[in-house]
Amino acid sequence: MHRTVKEIREQKGNKKIAVVTAYDYTMASLLDRAGMDILLVGDSAAMVMMGHDSTQKIGMDEMCLFTSSVAAGTSGALVVADMPFMSCQSPDAAAKNADRLVHAGAHGVKIEGGCEMALHAARIAEHGIPVMGHIGYCPQTGISGASKRCAMSEGAVSGLVGDALALEEAGAFALVLEMVSAEGAARITDTVGIPTIGIGSGPACDGQVLVGQDMLGMYERIRPSFARRYRDLASEITAAAAEYRDDIVSGAFPAPEHGFSMKGGTS
């Protein structure tokens, strides 16, 4: 049975919420088996799956494909899919594109932006689609080179609290806080009645999210300071593939048990 939005909401203040990104069937089924609460089909797929340099370079068709692959491998977690860059040009466009992601297999969607996206979030929620907000640093619109650290002053924290309240009022069931100062994230978490999911935002959030490839040590181009690497799968995969290649060259693979002979056959 999949986690429900109600269950995720009830975890606030009771049990921390574990979230990780996934983009394909095989990885989703492994992450789901580990007991994740939410699998997020992030638009970070543009970078870690497609090799682009920004999350802007993915569209609805690709997001639907990644979402259906993750949904096929998930039986316990709630599947939330990112609304990609330019998919929320108006509240109606946002609702239409959210509907496409739900048809691809998502249980809910995530939308980047603060107060300015409240109407869009409300329109999605009116259609009965669970919507998650994403405030603080928003990679889709972040200006490259600018500091990603958010909520570094009292005024900035107040601004983000306003964004969080507007999204809660619009019907968001949870909020991702990206690169929000620990103090700012604690204030937002204490103020809103919905769970906050932090990434680089300190321990006070109601849950945490990491990009799966960062958590597993697979993506080598960027190593975010906030991501703990639980394994070094990049080395593991390269070593396994090198062993396989050596075995092919030496003739050690395939062995007799990897094939079959005509002896004893009838057809």
Contact 79, 25 (CB under 8 A): no
* Beta-bridge mates of residue 238: none
Beta strands 131-136 and 108-112, pairing class: parallel
Nearest distance from C-beta of residue 158 to ligand KIV, angstroms: 23
Interface region with ligand KIV, contact rule CB under 6 A, candidates 41-49, 69-77, 151-159, 244-252: 41-49
For tokens 């975010």, the residue is: 224
Whether 10 is a known active-site residue: answer no
Chain residues 215-254 in contact with ligand KIV, contact rule CB under 6 A: none
Interface region with ligand KIV, contact rule CB under 6 A, candidates 42-50, 64-72, 181-189, 258-266: 42-50
Binding mask 70-99 for ligand KIV (x = CB under 6 A): ------------x-----------------
Nearest distance from C-beta of residue 263 to ligand KIV, angstroms: 53
Interface region with ligand KIV, contact rule CB under 6 A, candidates 36-44, 72-80, 156-164, 229-237: 36-44
Burial class, 1, CB count within 10 angstroms (exposed 0-12 / middle 13-18 / buried 19+): exposed
Q: Identify the CA nearest to 9 among candidates 172, 133, 135.
A: 172
Amino acid at 255: A
For tokens 């990009």, the residue is: 211
Rg (CA), the chain: 21
CA distance 20 to 107: 15
Q: Which of 28, 32, 38, 43 binds ligand KIV (CB under 6 A)?
A: 43
Binding mask 190-219 for ligand KIV (x = CB under 6 A): ---------x---------x-x--------
If the CB atoms of residues 50 and 252 are measured against ligand KIV, the closer one turns out to be 50
Q: Identify the CA nearest to 44 among candidates 74, 82, 14, 8.
A: 82
Q: Does 176 bind ligand KIV (CB under 6 A)?
A: yes
Torsional sign, CA 194, 195, 197, 203 = positive
Catalytic, out of 10, 116, 178, 236: 178
Q: Count of CB atoms within 10 A of residue 27's CB?
A: 20
Q: Which of 3, 12, 18, 21 binds ligand KIV (CB under 6 A)?
A: 21
Nearest distance from C-beta of residue 5 to ligand KIV, angstroms: 18
- Interface residues with ligand KIV (CB under 6 A) are 21, 42-44, 55, 82, 176, 178, 199, 209, 211
* Residues with catalytic function: 178
